[in-house]
Structure 1
């Protein structure tokens, strides 16, 4: 049981800690809106990580080659989604800087917690690396991770908790950044950085990274 718990925690942190396009978007989103929206988005990311861990546990060794077979089309979809996301972030930040809105809280006029949650669920779901990673991990730890349904449940729950805690930490950092850069120029700066990072990740992925 302890082995399954530790394996799940390590798996969740290992897949979550490298700050890629999703992490950059999460930080930028929270900086531009508020912590409530950022935390909702964070749990969207963690939900997909937990779901992929569950799929890996259920699918086992048969899962990785099936997903790997469609790696190229999934990679193309990922590149397209990231490119569109970068463009949307850039367009929205420039529009709000040129025509500032007043009255509502920034989080309320830009998005809502449910929308943030489902948006990040969709964005995170197009990354095939996560499910392949969890599948490989399950294969390597099949004796301790999938020995019983309880072991498998502990593994999946621990992976979800690890991912959620790290994503919430990123959201908290975005909220702090947002409070420090709360003016229109500060929000524009964070949006431009976020957009540039997301675009860079898209280029890196397109080049086979």
Structure 2
């Protein structure tokens, strides 16, 4: 079960750590409103990550009967997808910067905890790369070593907890940490850290 928890934590941080437009929106909401609004927004992001982790786990369970005959190729495909996501994240971080102005415009109507939670939940769910990321992780892991139902549940809970802890750190927008993470250098460093975590997950899937 420890393996599932560790994998979930790494997966959650891997998808949450890059500081892009969503994180800047959470930071800006906290700065303009209150920590309650920022925390609600952070939990909206984490809920989306947890939902996608759950969908990926359920999808993997539904495909369990098909995984056996194609376990080898599926494992390599999953590793390839994860490495592609890691490489794309690092490359985009080196080439582009998040748009704080756009995030500020998007956040003008999210001034209450309920609106902030719902708004960030929807915005994060609209990112198809998140479900691709979790699906590659779960299907790759199933091809290498299948978790029991309890392990899959722990994976989802750990992924949510990791995402929530990071997003709540981002929500402490008035702090020195918040300002450092939202700056150009902070966004670059967090994107590269995320790519490193995803690469570690790909190697774990490859090595079983």
TM-score, with structure 1 as normaliser: 0.61
The answer to whether the Cα contact below 8 Å between 2:42 and 2:167 also exists between their aligned partners in 1 is: yes
Q: 1:13 to 1:50 in 2, by over 3 A?
A: same
Confirm whether residue 89 of structure 1 aligns to residue 88 of structure 2: no
- In structure 2, the residue matched to 1:176 is 175
Partner of 2:7: 7
Q: How do residues 42-53 of structure 1 correspond to structure 2 at under 5 angstroms? A: 42-53=42-53
Where do 4+ consecutive residues of structure 1 move more than 6 Å?
none
Q: CA deviation at 1:60?
A: 2.2
Q: Which residue of 1 aligns with 2:130?
A: 130
Contact 1:145 1:152 in 2 (8 A): no
Q: RMSD of the TM alignment (CA)?
A: 3.5
Identify the residue that residue 70 of structure 2 maps to in structure 1. Answer: none
Quickly say closer, same or farther: Cα 1:22–1:11, change in 2 above 3 A: same
| Aligned residue number for residue 76 of structure 1 | none
TM-score, structure 2 length as denominator? 0.61
Q: State how far apart, in whole Å, the 2-side matches of 1:91 and 1:124 are.
A: 13
The answer to whether the 8 A contact 1:4-1:144 is kept is: no
CA deviation map 1:42-93 (0-9, x unaligned): 000000000000000111296xx9xx9xxxxxxxxxxxxx99x955834987
Pair 1:110–1:15, CA change in 2 (3 A): closer
* Structure 2 contact 25–103 (Cα < 8 Å) conserved: no
Residues 80-110 of structure 1, C-alpha deviations (whole Å, 9 max, x = no match):
xx99x955834987xxxxxxxxxxxxxxx96
Instruction: Specify the alignment match of 1:30 in structure 2.
Output: 30
Alignment of 1:1-209 (within 5 A): 1-60=1-60, 89-90=104-105, 111-142=111-142, 146-172=146-172, 174-176=173-175
Separation in 2, partners of 1:50, 1:91: 23
